[in-house]
Amino acid sequence: MLDRDQLETFATVVAQQSFERAAQVLSITRGAVSQRIRALEESLSLVLLVRDRPVVPTPAGEVLLRHVTALRILEGSVLQTLAPTPTKGRPIPLAIAVNADSLATWFPEVLKELLLSEQVALEVVADDQDHTAARLSRGEVIGCITTDPKPATGFLAEPLGAMEYRCYATPAFQRAHFPEGFTVQAVLKAPAILFNRKDALHTEFLKQRFGFPVDRFARHYLPSPEALLNGIVMGAGYGLAPSIQAEPLVAEGRLVDICPGDHMMVDLLWHHWELEPALARDISALIVSVARRHLAASSTPLPPVDVLSDTT
């Protein structure tokens, strides 16, 4: 049986990315941290950490970190069950990775149910949907929303639906910068608004529109969906935004779809552990259920959603 103190020390080192900071969090010496990690590695005959700056888990360490996270969830669920009613047990800390556009549109419904349940102490890690899966494989989160259809070994990928993106601008911006339509010449001159440097959606849209890559265009980076949409609304540029986020502004006449014949459909999936504790399983079912009520039909076949169980 694995030593629980050693496991908690290992998880703390990974979370803090440092032996020194882990020692401060655990209120023990740096030497004690090293001793526990060394003993854990020797018991498993595996190297669990890359001793670098920052300290990161090895592939074996990632597997072990998922085990520690599952233990924490299981223990927290047991303590909540055993807590005298009506007193609630201590909320269970856990983390999930969500793309920013989901956070700005349909995901608040999930947050409301999770946060008001008082069962979890939730950390939401926001990242681009093309990069969240790496956090799950490293054991940083119990699940993630991603565009990757292929889960890693030990994980499942459940289709959520598709986020529709259209290209928007203010009517004045369209008249000033696209008087002859959405042409390559106009795109090279008009400032675009992108989420960040990892955001490939805009360039993919241009490639789909024109049939070849277009990259040398002026661009602003506004790294939040709200800031990006506000930048478009103020007339600072044009850009892609989720239709469900922009439709009210289109209805008010403040924005127009400058490429009405073109749009992008981004399939989203929920990756999670194949074998997960009951609480994590219920969170997965909640996310899948809410997403499928709000997102467009996905090109990926959608299996039936499990009925949520009682997590109390």
pLDDT (tens digit per residue) in 235-258: 999 999 999 999 999 999 999 999
Q: Give DSSP secondary structure letters for 263-274.
A: -EEEEEEEEEES
Quick one: pLDDT band at residue 75, thresholds 50, 70, 90?
Answer: confident
**Can you say whether the dihedral through the CA atoms of 69, 141, 12, 2 is positive or negative?**
positive
The size of the chain, in residues, is 312
pLDDT in tens, 255-289: 999 999 899 999 999 999 888 888 899 999 999 99
pTM of the model: 0.79
What domains appear along the chain, each with residue ranges and CATH number? 4-60 (1.10.10.10), 81-161+270-294 (3.40.190.10), 164-265 (3.40.190.10)
Chain-centre distance for alpha carbon 130: 9
Contact 133, 156 (CB under 8 A): no
pLDDT in tens, 136-186: 877 788 999 999 898 888 889 999 999 999 999 999 999 999 999 999 999
> From the CB of residue 88, how many other CB atoms can be counted at a distance below 10 Å?
13
pLDDT at residue 181, rounded to an integer: 95
* Residue 179 burial by Cβ neighbours in a 10 Å radius (0-12, 13-18, 19+): exposed
- Asked whether the predicted pLDDT for residue 304 surpasses 60, the reply is no
Rounded mean pLDDT, 120-132: 81
Rounded mean pLDDT, 183-212: 95
Q: Rounded to whole angstroms, how far apart are CA atoms 179 and 212?
A: 22
* Residue 147 burial by Cβ neighbours in a 10 Å radius (0-12, 13-18, 19+): middle
pLDDT at residue 133, rounded to an integer: 73
Rounded mean pLDDT, 15-25: 94
Lowest mean pLDDT among 4-13, 64-73, 182-191: 64-73
Q: Rounded to whole angstroms, how far apart are CA atoms 19 and 42?
A: 18
pLDDT at residue 307, rounded to an integer: 38
pLDDT at residue 84, rounded to an integer: 64
Quick one: pLDDT band at residue 308, thresholds 50, 70, 90?
Answer: very low
Quick one: pLDDT band at residue 85, thresholds 50, 70, 90?
Answer: low
pLDDT at residue 127, rounded to an integer: 76
Lowest mean pLDDT among 61-65, 79-83, 100-104, 302-306: 302-306
Higher pLDDT, 96 or 312: 96
Using a pLDDT cut of 90, give the percent of the chain over it.
69
Higher pLDDT, 130 or 63: 63
Q: Which amino acid is at 24?
A: Q
